[in-house]
Structure 1
Amino acid sequence: MDIQLHISTDEQAISPICDFTHSWCLSCGLSENEATKFTIAVCELITDIILFAYPKKSVGFFDLTFRQTLSDIELIASEVGEPFDPDKHRYDPQRALHDNDFEGAGFRVIRRFTDDFLFINRGKEGKEFRLQKKINVKDIDELIELSRAKKPKEPKQKALPITYDIHQITPADAEDIAKLIYRTYDYSYTKEELYFPKKIEKTLLGKEKLGVITRSDKGKALGYFAILQKEDSNIAEVGEAVVSPSYRRQGIMSGMMEHLIKVAREHHLLALFGKAVTIHPVSQRVNQKFGFKTTGVMLLETNNVIFKGFDEDYPQPVSVVIDVLPLHPNNHKDLYLPEKHAYILLETYSLLDIPVTAKHDKSYKLADKSEAELQINYADSTALIVVEKYGPDFSSVLQEMLQSLIDQENPNVIYLDLPLENEATPSQFNKLEGLGFIYCGLAPFFHNESDYLRLQKICMPFDLNLVNVHSDFGQHIKSYITDEYSQHT
C-alpha cells in the first residue's frame, strides 16, 4: 500500500520528513546503515525541491509517494516548479576543489546512496524523481541450489485419500500458508513474501487479498489459493495457489477455484484475471477450464520465474497471457477503438460476451494537460504507463517519459494503457506512430472499472517461438502480435 504526502515548501518540513523516511525504511526491512543512506538521499532531494524549485513563490507544494514491495522500496517525488535539466548541473570534483563550487553534489550523493535514481520531465505536469533501494532478501536461486545439493531426490509421492473442507482464509492461517508453500516448493516459489507469516498476516488484515485454505478433518492444511485485489479497480488477480504434493489429484485445486469464484462474486468484484506463463501450458489450461478467456499476450513480462524440471535456464524473460473471467452480466458499452486494432478488440469483446458499439467523435475536447501514471517494476525490468487524460502535450510528454526510461532504466519492455472510454483515444493513438509500440491486448476493467487497450514496446531481442499459448484465441492474438513485431523489426 502506498503512503502519499502533500507537503509545502517550508524548510521546517525537512526534518520530520527525514525522520519518517528513516523509520519507514527500517520497517520495510532495510538495515540501519542502508536506511540512513536512503534517508540522506531523500533529504538531499527534498531540500533541493524546497529551496530551489519555486524561487518566485513564497510557498509551493510537492508530493511524496512511499512505495514498498518485498524486494525493494521506492520514493516518488513530484513537483511543478521551475523546469531544469539535471545534465546541466553535473558535479565536477576539480571545480569543487579549486573554486569551492559544489553544484550537482546533491545528485551525486543521491545516486551513490540509492540503487536507482530516475528523473522524468513531464512537461506541464512538472517533474518526477524516483529513488529506489533493493531489500536484501536471501537469494532464492542460491537457496534452491543448496536444497538440491543437500537433499536426495525424493520419490514421487502417492496421493493419500482424505476428506477435507474449504474455508475462507483469516490472519490466523498465515503460518500454515507459509509452511504449505515451503513444504511444497522448498524455496523455489516466485513470491518471496509467502515465506514470511507476518507479511501474509499483514495483507490479510489489510483486505488486500481474498483466499481459501483447505484443511483435513483433523485440521491439517492441505492447500491454499488466493486472489489479490487491484488497488485502482474492483477486480482481482488469481495470484497464489498451492496443494501439498501428497494430496494432489483429489479435486482440491478445482474445489478451491470454484470457492474463490463464488467468494469473488459475493464481494461484488467485476472480474477475475490471471497472468499465465507461456513457458508451459499448464496454468493456461487451468484458467481455460474455469471459463477464463485470453485477452492479451504480454511479452517479456517477468524475470522472476523458476520452474522445477527444466534442466536449462529459460533464455529470455518469461511472457504471460492475460486471462479474464467476467463475474456478472455486462452492460452495453460505447467505446472509442483505434481503427488499426478495432477488429481484434471487437473479437475479444465478443469472446467475453460483452456487447460493444465502436464510436467515433472527431469533435472531442482535450484536457488542459496530459496525465499519465508511471509504474516501474525494477525486479522484472518492466514499466507500465497508464494514460488518464490527453492534453495537447500528449506526444511530447510520452516521448520524454520513454526516453527517460530507456536512457536510465534500460527496461526489457514498456507497456502502455490507453483508455477506450475516452473519445480522444483513436486520434491520439495515431500519434504513437514511430514510437515502436505494438499490440498487446485488451485490459478490461483494469483501471477505475474501465477498459484499456494495452500496447507494448519491446526493448531487447527475443524469440517469439519460445512463447507457447494454449487457447485458440490466444494463438490468434499471438499471430497478430507476431505480424506487428516483424513489421517493426
Structure 2
Amino acid sequence: MDAQFQISTDEKVINPVCDFTQSWGVNCGLTTGDALRFSVALSELVTDIILFAFPDDSNQNFEIKFFHTFSHVEIVISELGEPFDPDRHTYDAQNALTEGNFDGAGFLLIKTFSDEFSFINKGKKGKEFRLVKNIEVHDIDKLLELSAEQRETKPDSEGDQESTIKLEEFTVSRIKPEDAEDISKLIYRTYGYSYNVEDLYLPKKVEESVLAKDKLGVIARKIDGEAIGYFAVIPKDNSRIAEVGEAVVSPKYRKNGVMSSMMEQLIEIAESKNLSMLFGEAVTVHPVSQKVNNKFGYKTAALQLASSVNVKYKGFDEDYSQPISMAMDFLPILPSHDKKPVYLPDKYSDIILATYDELGINVDPQKVTEYHLAETSDIDLKINYSSYSSLIIVENYGNDFISELSELVDGLEENSPETILLDLPLENSATPEQLHNISELNFIYSGLLPHYHYDADFLRVQKVYSDIDFNLIEIYSDFGKKIKTFVADEYNNNPERSQKS
C-alpha cells in the first residue's frame, strides 16, 4: 500500500485529495492525461460520498487507500454512510435531455475515466468502492502486441536444441542492483517478449525491486561474466514464506546443472532469512513446471481452479478452452518439531491430514468442545482484476461472520467473477462449524496452505463460476492427482452445478 488517509466529510478536502491522486498517478507511471482523468473520477466519487452518504452529518470520516503495481493503480474507498442500491441510479440520457434528470451521471463518469470500477456492499461494515486504472508502458507495448508466433520464434528455435555448450565452471551469487540490466537481457534473449512478468523487461524496475528487497534472487554467470541464469523468490508481506516467481536459464547452457545450483543457493538464502517455506503456482495446462517443482522436493497441496484467463503459454495451443487452473506446490525449509494444534472440518479431515503427512509437517488435530466469537469479524479482501478472481482472508470470526461473508460474496458476484477464493484459519477452533454454517454458499475444496498468512495454516476453499473440464487439467504427482480427484468430485456434485445442468 502506497498511502492511507482518513478523510473528513468536509468538501474542503476534495481538492487536496485530487491533487495528491494526480501527482501519485504520474509518479506510478500514468500519463499526465490518464492521471488527471483518474483524479476526476475520484473527485466525483468522493463528492458523492460527502453529499449523499452523510447528508446530515459533516463530522464523519471515511478511508481512502492507494495501491500500485507495475501494471495498474488502484484506489479503495471504505465508508459507513447511508445504504444505497447502485442499480436504482443508472443514467438515462433521454431523461437528462427531456426532464433534466441527471441521476447516475456521476457513476457513468467514474466508469468512463476508470478501467475498472466496482462497488461492494459489506452490510454492517458499510460500502467499498474500488477504482483501477491500467498503466500503459509505451516503450514495450508494440512488442507485447505481437502475436505469440512472432514473439516466440527465437525462444522456440533455441529451446528445441540440445545443450550445445558444456560448462566446466560457472558462479552463482546473490543479485545486486547492478545486475538489473543483465537480468532484463537474459529474460529477453531466452523468452523474447513472451515472459509474463513484464517489469523484468525494464532494468530500472528490476533495480528498484532489488534495492527495496522485494525479491530474493541469484544470478548465474560464466567465468567471463556472461549472465546465463536468474532465479528469484518473492517474500509474502504477512508471513515467513516466499513464492518462487521468476526463473530462467539461457537455452544454450541448459543441462549443465545451472537451475539446480541456483535453487540450492536460494534455499540457503531462504534458510538464512529464517523463511519457513517456499511455494509456487504451477500451470495445469501441461506438467512441465510441476515436474521441475517435484524434482526439488515440492509437494502439491492445493488445486486452484480458474486462476487466470486470456493467458498465452509458450509452445501450447492459444485456444485453451477454459480458464487456467494452478497446482499450488510447497517446499518446507525449516523442519517443524512441535505439533501445532489444528481444527479440521470433518469432511476435509482425511485429505488435509494426508497433505500434512506429504509435506512432513506434524500437527495435533483437536476436537472442538467450545469456541468464542469476537463481536465483529476480521476479514481482508484482495481482488485480481486481470483474472476476474477475488481472495477473502478470514483472520478472526465474529458474530456477524455468516452475514458478512454472504454480503461480500453477493457484492463480488455483481462483477461476474471467474472464481472467489476463501481462506479459513485452521488454528482457529471456530473454523469447522463456521465452514458448515456457510455450506449454502457452495464453496468447494481447494487445499491446504501451510504458513500462508500470518505464519499460520489455512484451508482454502473456492467458489467457481466457470465450466471446468477436469480432463484438461494435467497433474504430475501421484498425491496431486488425489487432490484433483477430490476437488473434481466435489465440483461435479456441487448443488450449483446441478442447477446449471
Common fold: TM-score over 0.5: yes
Match for residue 33 of structure 1? 33
What displacement does 1:144 show?
Answer: 3.6
Match for residue 109 of structure 2? 109
In 2, Cα distance between the equivalents of 1:151 and 1:421?
Answer: 46
What displacement does 1:389 show?
Answer: 2.4
In 2, Cα distance between the equivalents of 1:401 and 1:70?
Answer: 27
2:387 aligns with one of 380, 404, 413: 380
**Residues 311/85 of structure 1: CA separation in 2 closer, same or farther (3 Å cut):** closer
In 2, Cα distance between the equivalents of 1:166 and 1:148?
Answer: 28
In 2, Cα distance between the equivalents of 1:132 and 1:432?
Answer: 31
Matches within 5 A, 1:11-160: 11-137=11-137, 138=141, 140=144, 142=146, 144-147=148-151, 153=157, 156=161, 158-160=163-165
**Residues 343/260 of structure 1: CA separation in 2 closer, same or farther (3 Å cut):** same
Letter in 2 for 1:142: L
Letter in 2 for 1:42: L
1:283 aligns with one of 285, 289, 297: 289
Moved more, 176-185 or 280-289: 280-289
In 1, Cα distance between the equivalents of 2:402 and 2:384?
Answer: 23
In 2, Cα distance between the equivalents of 1:249 and 1:471?
Answer: 23
Moved more, 254-263 or 143-152: 143-152
**Residues 478/17 of structure 1: CA separation in 2 closer, same or farther (3 Å cut):** same
What displacement does 1:107 show?
Answer: 1.4
What displacement does 1:2 show?
Answer: 4.1
Moved more, 114-123 or 386-395: 386-395
Tell me the TM-score normalized by structure 2.
0.92
CA RMSD of aligned residues (A): 2.1
In 1, Cα distance between the equivalents of 2:155 and 2:373?
Answer: 63
What displacement does 1:336 show?
Answer: 1.5
In 1, Cα distance between the equivalents of 2:13 and 2:101?
Answer: 27
**Residues 362/8 of structure 1: CA separation in 2 closer, same or farther (3 Å cut):** farther
- Does the Cα contact within 8 Å between 1:281 and 1:468 map onto a contact in 2? yes
In 2, Cα distance between the equivalents of 1:4 and 1:145?
Answer: 44
What displacement does 1:150 show?
Answer: 9.7
Deviations 1:221-271 (A, max 9, x none): 110000001112121001100001111100000000010011001001121
Matches within 5 A, 1:358-369: 358-369=365-376
Moved more, 150-159 or 210-219: 150-159
- Does the Cα contact within 8 Å between 2:156 and 2:315 map onto a contact in 1? no
1:206 aligns with 2:216: no
Secondary structure of the residue aligned to 1:142 is coil
Deviations 1:174-199 (A, max 9, x none): 11111000000001111111111111
Matches within 5 A, 1:249-288: 249-288=255-294
- Does the Cα contact within 8 Å between 1:302 and 1:317 map onto a contact in 2? yes
What displacement does 1:97 show?
Answer: 3.9
- Does the Cα contact within 8 Å between 1:190 and 1:304 map onto a contact in 2? no
**Residues 148/284 of structure 1: CA separation in 2 closer, same or farther (3 Å cut):** closer
Secondary structure of the residue aligned to 1:354 is coil
What displacement does 1:210 show?
Answer: 0.2
- Does the Cα contact within 8 Å between 1:5 and 1:64 map onto a contact in 2? yes
What displacement does 1:369 show?
Answer: 1.9
Moved more, 119-128 or 355-364: 355-364
Match for residue 393 of structure 1? 400
- Does the Cα contact within 8 Å between 2:121 and 2:128 map onto a contact in 1? yes
What displacement does 1:153 show?
Answer: 5.0
1:446 aligns with one of 442, 446, 452: 452
1:164 aligns with 2:164: no
Tell me the TM-score normalized by structure 1.
0.94
**Residues 127/90 of structure 1: CA separation in 2 closer, same or farther (3 Å cut):** same
Letter in 2 for 1:402: V
- Does the Cα contact within 8 Å between 2:152 and 2:314 map onto a contact in 1? no
In 2, Cα distance between the equivalents of 1:87 and 1:311?
Answer: 40
- Does the Cα contact within 8 Å between 2:155 and 2:192 map onto a contact in 1? no
Give the unaligned 5+ runs of structure 2.
none
What displacement does 1:9 show?
Answer: 2.6
Give the unaligned 5+ runs of structure 1.
none
Secondary structure of the residue aligned to 2:476 is coil
What displacement does 1:417 show?
Answer: 0.6
Match for residue 180 of structure 2? 174
- Does the Cα contact within 8 Å between 1:125 and 1:370 map onto a contact in 2? no
**Residues 287/153 of structure 1: CA separation in 2 closer, same or farther (3 Å cut):** closer
Deviations 1:401-427 (A, max 9, x none): 22222222x222111111112221111
Match for residue 196 of structure 2? 190
In 1, Cα distance between the equivalents of 2:294 and 2:163?
Answer: 27
**Residues 184/304 of structure 1: CA separation in 2 closer, same or farther (3 Å cut):** farther
What displacement does 1:399 show?
Answer: 2.0
What displacement does 1:217 show?
Answer: 1.1
Match for residue 435 of structure 1? 441
Matches within 5 A, 1:466-485: 466-485=472-491
Deviations 1:283-305 (A, max 9, x none): 11221222211111111212264
Letter in 2 for 1:383: S
Q: How many residues align?
A: 488
